[in-house]
A = this chain, B = another copy of it.
């Protein structure tokens, strides 16, 4: 349990901010146990958050922002003037710059770009043209490059001379280019280390190196790094010119981010990540947007019940089983949705393989539908002492589970074929259809069996 005398770390930060002690602020964030930084920032008042970034040097502020999620970092940057923000963004690697500015609204991002160094700003503008989950959107432009005429000694001299600049780079390979900037080879640091100074680089480089294009997708990059034990892969444009490097770590991070986004969307958090430090109006309205669509779908589904009011009035016990049948088959269908989303992400299924998924799910749907049907039918029989009620409820449960599981498996593939986002739309569509179908099955069977149910 929490100690009442315990001082939360943001209380200390607030005290330092009041004293305006830049040195102590830096030390305090460095000493903060890992993981605490994000929480501390989220608990500061708005004016204090802006003050943290302006009190730190731009370099330290950039390092702080890189520890936070993009959403949280963007929230902080928005509270600064464009000039203050630009000074900090200048200190970040190119892929982080693009990610961060991509979280801001267009106007805010443009204002910051105006204030940045012309060369850096131009680079960000170019990089942000690429879709986020492609090699172009993930690549960095900070890498070592040497002309193919160099010898080992030339490369080493260049390294020594520009040591200061390169210290910030993740130096793993030196990329060798022709006069026309075409990628002709990759030189590993290790081979540079073990070769005589007079060796031409073309002799020890890996020629015809593996590379990707700016349009290569995240999935393909993930499989590339699964297959090859490299730290990075060079990216070329359509003319074969070297334009960037995608690092393994950035690919892994992007894959993790995508899994997070899928989870949030499936749970109905749409339109960007939500943090509880965001304003109430933003949080409530974003959640409401998704709920409003759902309530309309729900009303449509439930209107099926209105069509059978007479049957319901005659056998009021059915009202107990309606939500059970619709909820349970919805649950069973959601399991199939999850498996399909996962197989689509892993590349284990292609959107055109509807029949395969349908057959595979039909098997599970029949087995689990039968078992759930027998269970629920048994409960209905035992409770009301009427075997016919048990039969109606059980058969409806079994059939609706089959329908829901088959639909749950196939809807994500259909949505992907229509270029819609399966993570977002599968759940609401599935729930609406299985609710309608479940209500219909229970009530139409009951209407047909009414003489044996009522009385």
Contact = CB atoms under 8 A, between A and B. Distances in A.
Contacts of A326: 323
A455 interface: no
Nearest to A267: B338
A326 B320 CA distance: 13
Nearest to A361: B276
**Copies of this chain in its oligomeric complex:** 2
Contact of A291 (B262, B328, B342): B328
A21 interface: no
Interface string A332-350: 1011011101110011111
A38 interface: yes
B295 A306 contact: no
A323 B320 contact: no
A260 B194 contact: no
A435 B322 CA distance: 13
A131 B298 CA distance: 44
A262 B256 CA distance: 12
B368 A39 contact: no
A290 interface: yes
A420 interface: no
Interface in A109-125: none
Given A35-B219, A263-B263, A295-B328, A280 B349 contact: no
B335 A299 contact: no
Interface stretch (A82-90, A235-243, A372-380): A372-380
A294 B295 CA distance: 23
A15 interface: no
A38 B342 CA distance: 13
Interface stretch (A51-59, A198-206, A223-231): A223-231
B379 A280 contact: no
B226 A67 contact: yes
A160 B42 CA distance: 51
A415 interface: no
Given A231-B231, A338-B269, A220 B284 contact: no
Contacts of A171: 190
A322 B324 contact: no
Interface in A245-276: 248-249, 252-253, 255-256, 259-260, 262-264, 266-269, 273-276
Given A287-B335, A319-B322, A67 B360 contact: no
Nearest to A432: B327
Nearest to A329: B291
